[in-house]
Amino acid sequence: MKRHLAAAVIGISSATVLCAAAPGDSDRAKVISLHAQVITPASDALFRAESQPAATPAQWVQVATRAADLSRAAKELESMESAKSQPAWLQFARALGAAAERAVRAAQANNQDGLVSANGDVVSVCEDCHAKYRDAGRSMKQ
pTM, full prediction: 0.80
User: What's the CA angle centered on 28, arms 65 and 83, to 5 degrees?
Assistant: 75
Residue 80 DSSP label: S
Q: For residue 140, tell me if it sits in a domain.
A: no
Q: For residue 138, tell me if it sits in a domain.
A: no
Decide if pLDDT at 24 tops 50. Answer: no
For 50-77, the pLDDT digits (tens) are 999 999 999 999 999 999 999 999 999 9
Give the dihedral sign, CA 20/28/94/102: negative
Q: What's phi and psi for 109, nearest 5 deg?
A: -95, 5
Q: For residue 139, tell me if it sits in a domain.
A: no
pLDDT (0 to 100) of residue 90 = 94
Give the dihedral sign, CA 30/35/38/39: positive
- Number of domains, the chain: 1
CATH code of 9's domain = 1.20.1420
CB 107 within 8 A of CB 67: yes
- Collect all residues with Cβ–Cβ distance below 8 Å to 29 and sequence separation of at least 6: 21
Range of the domain at 16: 2-133
Half-sphere exposure of 80 (CA within 13 A, CB side): 28
Q: For residue 73, tell me if it sits in a domain.
A: yes
Task: Quote the radius of gyration of the chain (alpha carbons, Å).
Answer: 15
- Collect all residues with Cβ–Cβ distance below 8 Å to 85 and sequence separation of at least 6: none
pLDDT (0 to 100) of residue 134 = 81
Q: For residue 116, tell me if it sits in a domain.
A: yes
Q: For residue 142, tell me if it sits in a domain.
A: no
**Which band of pLDDT confidence, cut at 50, 70 and 90, is reported for residue 85?**
confident
